[in-house]
Chain A
């Protein structure tokens, strides 16, 4: 997303301005990123969203789900049982289109996610403890096969390498509106490290603004070289 432009973060293909390019290695699902580093998570793609509770990852995931709610039911696999559907409705998901599955057990989690991938246009799944890498790889393959968007939110583990089309790691959040007991929180700015195939191999920092309305606003797409080990 370009500096100062208002766009949705899940970044549906926008070929009209000529900035969206398709790489040579693209497969049927389409691997797209615009010139400013805007990643695309289309049908059959897997995205990994990580960050501390409070960093805005759930909200980002819900906005990404909302983009696919027009195509059918979207599902949220709620391992903790904490999801507040109010936030989903604020993100633009119709209550009739949102199904929430609760499952803590690692074995049943895989089967439940697979079933949801079969019947939903997009699935946002929190990953509980005890889930094996092979299980996640199978689900990613199933998502590709069913052309369902799969958003993974690891709660306490990492996702195996190579499956995510896009990885967004929230590392800094600031809120405005509340100060010294006055006002109330209103606008959030979150910085994410974005990497994966959608970013064409580069790690970039993107900053998103969220005022609680239907869409997030990406205010910058800054290239940020990864910090290497330094000896001083």
Chain B
């Protein structure tokens, strides 16, 4: 959401229809984290110019340890002023800055920041956290119960004995209590095995970003497998890319939860795209080396569920990665349900290993949806279908080189189509022959096959 939308009264979490009611000119676009990271790269670079060791959590959120910088710039206020000035220069308005003890408090300070410029420097960390709503712990499974028990702020939760909370709610409750008490997660100070860093060199240099992202996914899988063998997972990774001209660029990504292979691959892809399409010199001459180094290892999050077989999961991942290398990134797919009327519209495809993007709510009513059972085969584009008609009734269909009698049929069902997008009205039929049943459409251009009940 941009500043202009905010000025019109549009807020985060608002439904699309509601937003269009407030501002008919509003344009809704699909969230693209890579594009967000490209835009955000300038902010990261600007802050990095002032303070080293910037850590990216997600596009739009960075943490910076400031202990050294506060002394260097002569105080917290002076430091924040410099940071605000830099961000304002590269990104304009719409940002917020928070300064507090630890990432959790700093993030909530930034969210609570208001005024011009929107900055909040927390003086009393405990008091600030104590006033936050209980939902800030982010553990939905315990928040509702805590509210029911009359605990509505972090302060009230922090005042409870930690052992009692852990006893009642288990590890999730203990985590919530730790957060409420202002203690950020302290990763186990485990030594990072030297051979856990994964490196891939490319000759000739890689110029295709998709290819690089594909390689990154395999690297992430290798990294997680290596760490899993010692029962560890990283909370932080360093992504380093070497360009053909010798330039080496590096960024640190962190997470509140252990990063898995999918999360790592995603972050590497965002980062590479930001380097290529964002500010700066890009990756000149192509990518000659990619390196992913884990940090802040912890055993947290690696506790296997009862019945989970880590070896089988790793083997499945390895095998599917190999299959993907054979058939190509677009050849290995998964699908998730989404809303729609036609069989093809009800499927959200995505590459294996990537997050599904569901564009339409599958739970919403879709009047006129083709009823089940669904055709098992749906051509990517509708195909010409030869049907012989007699008085508006189908009599024969041609399957390959032979004509087959129609045994029964149902329809027509009128599909008006999205006329405002130039779609023509058409009629749908279910046609049953001795060879099987078919879903077809009839419009001015003829008869088309849209599904086979195979």
Contact = CB atoms under 8 A, between A and B. Distances in A.
The yes or no verdict on A and B being binding partners is yes
Interface of A: 52-59, 62, 72-73, 75, 80-87, 89-90, 95-96, 98-103, 108, 111-112, 115-116, 118-120, 172-175, 177-186, 188, 210-212
B451 A84 contact: yes
Contact of B377 (A83, A90, A183, A185): A83
B335 A73 contact: no
Interface of B: 312, 315-320, 322-323, 326-327, 330-337, 343-344, 346-347, 352, 371-380, 393, 399, 407-412, 430, 432-438, 451-454
A52 B433 CA distance: 12
Given A82-B452, A102-B330, 17 more contacts: A52-B435, A55-B435, A82-B377, A84-B347, A84-B375, A84-B376, A87-B376, A95-B334, A95-B337, A100-B334, A102-B327, A111-B326, A112-B327, A120-B319, A175-B407, A181-B393, A185-B430
B436 A108 contact: no
A86 B347 contact: yes
Nearest to B439: A185
A91 to B, nearest CB: 9
A52 B374 CA distance: 18
A173 B333 contact: no
Contacts of B330: 102
B158 to A, nearest CB: 37
User: Among the interface residues A53, A72, A75, A186, which one has the most CB atoms of the partner chain B within 10 A?
Assistant: A53
Given A58-B377, A119-B315, A172 B322 contact: no
A175 B337 CA distance: 27
B326 A103 contact: yes
A185 B374 contact: no
A90 to B, nearest CB: 6
Contacts of B347: 84-86
Contact of B410 (A99, A111, A112, A181): A181
Nearest to B438: A54
Q: Name the 3 nearest CB pairs between A and B, nearest first.
A: A54-B436, A119-B319, A212-B373
B327 A120 contact: no
Given A96-B334, A108-B327, A119-B320, A81 B435 contact: no
A112 B437 CA distance: 31
A212 B371 CA distance: 10
A73 B408 contact: no
B377 A84 contact: yes
A85 B320 CA distance: 18
A54 B436 CA distance: 4
B315 to A, nearest CB: 6
Given A55-B454, A82-B377, A86-B346, A99 B333 contact: yes
A54 B331 contact: no
A98 B334 contact: yes
Contacts of A108: 326-327
Nearest to A95: B336
B410 A183 contact: yes
A84 B374 contact: yes
30 contacts: A53-B452, A54-B437, A73-B316, A82-B379, A82-B380, A84-B374, A84-B377, A84-B378, A86-B346, A86-B347, A89-B337, A90-B373, A99-B332, A99-B333, A100-B333, A101-B332, A102-B332, A103-B326, A112-B323, A112-B331, A115-B323, A116-B319, A119-B322, A178-B410, A181-B393, A181-B411, A184-B410, A188-B437, A210-B373, A212-B374
Given A98-B334, A99-B332, A185-B432, A119 B318 contact: yes
Contacts of A211: 373
Contacts of B335: 85, 95, 98, 100
